[in-house]
Structure 1
């Protein structure tokens, strides 16, 4: 039987972790082997609160949420630049830098990009940590309209 599945558009979901880097390596390698179009997506969750407070007497307002979001956007741009230069220097890449619910936004970007495959890493959380934060990879797998390749990274 001939395989009719063609992964011509690969979405690689990244954050600034070693787990994500391993997934990006795998995703770019797969994209090269299949001559696929590639997009990177990074989603920053909205901060609930900030522990950085200013001192109004000294005129220091502290860090406010728009400043934090700008810093996260800039960090995502630097991450994309690093991934491009180290893993795919000659590959045209679409980029999505967003804020919101990570689990939902990865699925939304995959629909917008018309991805035929999502590649992502996993933090391999267990126990209470998994219960409290949930698994982003599991949620994406359950809700995506295309296959999801979860790349494990063992220490």
Structure 2
């Protein structure tokens, strides 16, 4: 195994995931890629005719906000790579459905293992919403190294 894909969200506990992923990569003498998935925010600015009493947003939407989200997310990845202290760490910023984006990029990058955190969610939340981790585990062909980040 020579490629470790570490997935990150904006949770402060992501530092645990990054550090464990780095340890795993060092044990395997593997290459590291940090991945963050940015949800698509463009739909917030959609203009619709009123329906069911809903009139949509009454203010003009600045579509440059998506560019700002991308810059902030890329800065987050860059600073995380610096935190790890290795200059040869690659980063990748994806947009869209988180689980699907993780799986697609892991295959594209030919990752040998995916490192991701698991948050402590309540049972009802898991039943009705699912979690990114469970979606990835359900559909992956690549081994996943889960790092518990709950209290």
TM-score (structure 1 length as normaliser): 0.79
Do structure 1's residue 43 and structure 2's residue 43 form an aligned pair? no
TM-aligned CA deviation for residue 129 of structure 1: 2.8
2:118 and 2:150 in contact (8 A); partners too: no
Q: Describe the SS at the equivalent of 1:42.
A: strand
Aligned-residue Cα RMSD (Å) equals: 2.1
CA distance in 2, matches of 1:120, 1:104: 14
Do structure 1's residue 68 and structure 2's residue 62 form an aligned pair? no
Match of 2:14 in 1: 20
Q: Describe the SS at the equivalent of 1:11.
A: strand
CA distance in 1, matches of 2:121, 2:21: 22
CA distance in 2, matches of 1:128, 1:146: 28
Query: Over residues 2-38 of structure 1, what are the superposed CA-to-partner deviations in whole Å (9 max), with x where a residue is unaligned?
Result: xxxxx31000111111232211111012112221011
Aligned length: 140
Query: Over residues 70-94 of structure 1, what are the superposed CA-to-partner deviations in whole Å (9 max), with x where a residue is unaligned?
Result: 222112111112211212x224122
TM-aligned CA deviation for residue 69 of structure 1: 2.2
Match of 1:130 in 2: 126
CA distance in 1, matches of 2:6, 2:144: 10
Match of 1:29 in 2: 23
TM-aligned CA deviation for residue 67 of structure 1: 2.7
Match of 2:79 in 1: 82
TM-score (structure 2 length as normaliser): 0.81
TM-aligned CA deviation for residue 52 of structure 1: 7.7
> Structure 1 residues 53 and 98 mapped into 2: Cα distance closer, same or farther (>3 Å)?
farther
CA distance in 2, matches of 1:53, 1:29: 50
